[in-house]
Every structure is written in C-alpha cells, then in structure tokens.
Structure 1
Amino acid sequence: METIHIALVDDHRLFRSGIASLINNFKGYSILFEAGNGEELIRKISPKNKPDIVLLDIHMPIMDGASTAQWLKENYPEIRVIVLSMLEDAERVLTMLKLGVKGYLLKDAEPYEFEQALKKVSQGEVYYPEFVTKLLINSFNQQIEPIILNPRELEFLRLASSELTYKEIADQMCISIRTVDGYRDHLFTKLNIKSRIGLVLYAVKNKLIDL
C-alpha cells in the first residue's frame, strides 16, 4: 500500500502533536508537515512537497480555514481537504462544504473515526458525521422550496433595482426611510443576499425587471 501523506494545519500545537502521533500510528499514513495557519501552509507546500490530504482547522489566526480551503481549491484542486473542528454553526459548515471539502471531523472524535475518515477520503469518497449530513439535507430542501415575495416586497425589489436612492424609494412607496431599511434587511435575509447589487442581480436572474 502506498503511503498517504498528510498535512496538518491547526494553530494549537498540543492538539497538532496528539493528532500527528495518532496518524503516524495508522498503517499507510504519515504526516508530511504541520502548519499553524493557512499562510504557513502556503509557505511549506510545493509541487515537490505536496500532501494527499490536508487536515484543516477552521478557526486560525492570520489565515483561517475558509480562506485556506479556497486557496487550495484554486491552486491544488487535487488535494483532498478534511475539516477539523468543534461543532460549528450551520452557515460556517455549509461554507466549507461549498469550498469542496471531502470530510468533516469533530476534534473530539474517536481515533477510529479519524482512521475511517482518512481511509474514505483517500479512496475518493467523502466522510461527513451525521449532523453535517442533516445540514446538507436541510439546505437542499430549503433550496428547492420556491421563494415567494409579496406585492410590497416585489415593489421594493423593483425600485431598489433602479437608480433611485433609498429616500426616493421611501417617497415613492409612501413609507418611512426606516421601513425601507426594514424591507431591505428582510430581503437580504430572505434571499440570502448581502448587498443592493445582489438584489439587482436576483431581480435580473428571476426576470422581475427588464434591462
């Protein structure tokens, strides 16, 4: 069996040391190098010093897990990433999954779970614990449910897609500027959008306005 080389990226040295010892005891796996954050990983990795799998913490100083996963996706897409973390909020987990991570391991997982994750991911499969699978299912179900906007939301969206200021939108809708802010923030949340440009793009994509 060919040895699978692992890079361990985590800012806690004691945790890193324990995981490195654990993995080095698994048959067919070895730690290629360790790093305390994404920036250190970038300095150490090269085509000649390239791991097969990166075990990646989410919370790190200087360059965190999401930024590191994005960099790996762009520069070494063949490297498989397994997230190492404590229980995370749904949005953070889904962000990492969208970046193409192949596995998700809780830091307090049992040793056999680490070995199973490494085995599955090295064979081209994925390894997600039950709570991640549930998040994926819930996210998928939410995506397939159509988003329905009421007439006032549609009116605001169309006006927000114009060159009118929020004050001018308030005047046109005969509402206060504070209510306009409420419509904007509500649609940001409802449509999972973070800017007025995002609202315009949503309106165009869904043919709610004519260009």
Structure 2
Amino acid sequence: MKNIGLIEDNESLRAVFTAYFNASSTFDVVFSAGDIKDALQIKDAVPQILLLDVDLPSGSGIDAIPLLQQNFPGTKIIILSSLKDANLTKQAIQNGAWGYLLKTSSLDYINESLMRIDDEGRPFSPETISHLFKQTTAAPQETSLTKRELEIVRLMSEGKLNKLVADELCISHFTVNQHLKHIYKKLNVNSKPELVAWYLSYAR
C-alpha cells in the first residue's frame, strides 16, 4: 500500500480522486488539500507520492515543488493538471517533478502509471511525453558523456523504464544500470528528474 497526498483546489475532483484511490488495494490517500499553503501545514503525514495541481489559489504548483520537497522529503511529486503546455512540462521536470499526468487521462491510466513508480517508471500522459520529444530535437552541445550514455539519457527523458531502454539498445538491464552510475557521477546528479532536467537543458 502506497500513501498518496493530493493538492487540488477543485473540491469535486478532489473527492473523486480520494474516493478512487481509497477504494483501490494499492493506494491510500493520507491527506488532501485545496491549496499549497494548506498542505504545508501538514506535519504528521509524509506521502510516498504527491499529486499536485498547477493552477492553485496561492500560486503555481510547479513553482512550489522545491518548497514541497522540503516539507515532504523523499516524496515523489507528480503534476496532475488539465494544462498541457510543453513549457510547463519542461519547467515541472526541471523543478524536480517525477512526472506529469493530465486530468483528462482515465483514472485507470493514472492508477497504472503511478504503480510503475516502483520500477523507477516516470508517470507521463502521452501528450506530455510528446512535449519532451519536442524539447529534445536540437543538436546537442559538447559533453563528457559517450554516445551510448547520451542514448540512454535521451531514452530516459522520454519516460522509458530501465528494462525498455535495455531492450531498445540490445544490452542487458545490468549494463544500463552500470551506465547510469557513470552518468550520474559525470553529471553530478542524484535522481532521474535531475538527469532529465539536465538533458532538456543540454539538448535545447
């Protein structure tokens, strides 16, 4: 059972998501708040996953990601919004979001996407994955990464799991993990969101 926090200002939607996840055998909503300032007052619950709207009464959820990470250390923050602007997707990842899901996606799709987090999956709706494709078409600049390492980072930035990266490159899952260790060390990053943020900046 994974604990979920929810920040959504639409009370009806908040109730729908809360009821849906609480009815599942996989997730449990430990808190739901209508705004960022309300969520920051919560000290007795640290969710493993935080679903965060963008357009909130006290400001942008994307801008608040670093502050929420301080308040909920170790929590994976997933944007859940009706806004599907490519710049918002990019900014969310750069600010530390683990994924970007759209409210127009079915509840089953959202549920399945969140379940893949255990395998280091990064939840994206198809439209927001396409935003990452669009942001990574420019010719890259100089980097210390090898061609194979760059291929791995590019595939990771598209939301692919380690196993899918291995299959696409015809290498083992172990080899992908070894490459990632070297990549993290070279770039001085500690997580996949940081890695994707670096690539988005590098390839623009």
1:143 deviates by 6.2
Q: Which secondary structure does the structure 1 equivalent of 2:56 belong to?
A: coil
- Where does residue 55 of structure 1 map in the other structure? 51
Please, what TM-score do these two structures have when normalized by structure 1?
Answer: 0.61
- 2:129 aligned with 1:133: yes
Structure whose CA Rg is larger:
1
Q: Structure 1 vs Structure 2: percent identity of aligned residues?
A: 23
- Where does residue 163 of structure 1 map in the other structure? none
Stretch of structure 1 that moved more, 33-42 or 103-112: 103-112
Please tell me the root mean square deviation across aligned C-alpha atoms, in Å: 2.0
Q: Which runs of 5+ in 1 are unaligned?
A: 147-211
Please, what TM-score do these two structures have when normalized by structure 2?
Answer: 0.63
- Match of 1:10, as an amino acid? E
State which of 5, 8, 15 in structure 2 corresponds to 1:7: 5
Write out per-residue CA displacement over residues 36-95 of structure 1, whole angstroms, 9 at most, x where no aligned residue: 111111001x2x411111010000011431132121234444100111111422111211
Stretch of structure 1 that moved more, 34-43 or 124-133: 124-133
Runs of 4+ aligned residues of structure 1 deviating over 3 Å after TM superposition are 73-77
Write out per-residue CA displacement over residues 69-124 of structure 1, whole angstroms, 9 at most, x where no aligned residue: 12123444410011111142211121111122122221121121121122012443
- 2:35 aligned with 1:66: no
- Where does residue 20 of structure 2 map in the other structure? 22
Write out per-residue CA displacement over residues 139-188 of structure 1, whole angstroms, 9 at most, x where no aligned residue: 12236279xxxxxxxxxxxxxxxxxxxxxxxxxxxxxxxxxxxxxxxxxx
1:125 deviates by 1.8
How many residues of Structure 1 are paired with residues of Structure 2 in the alignment? 142
State which of 26, 30, 33 in structure 2 corresponds to 1:32: 30
Higher relative contact order (CA 8 A, sep 6+): 2
State which of 99, 102, 105 in structure 2 corresponds to 1:106: 102
**Separation in structure 1 between the aligned mates of residue 127 and residue 75 of structure 2, nearest angstrom:** 24
Q: Map of 1:1-211 to 2, 5 A cutoff?
A: 3-44=1-42, 46=43, 48-142=44-138, 144=140
Q: Which runs of 5+ in 2 are unaligned?
A: 143-204
Q: Which secondary structure does the structure 2 equivalent of 1:33 belong to?
A: strand
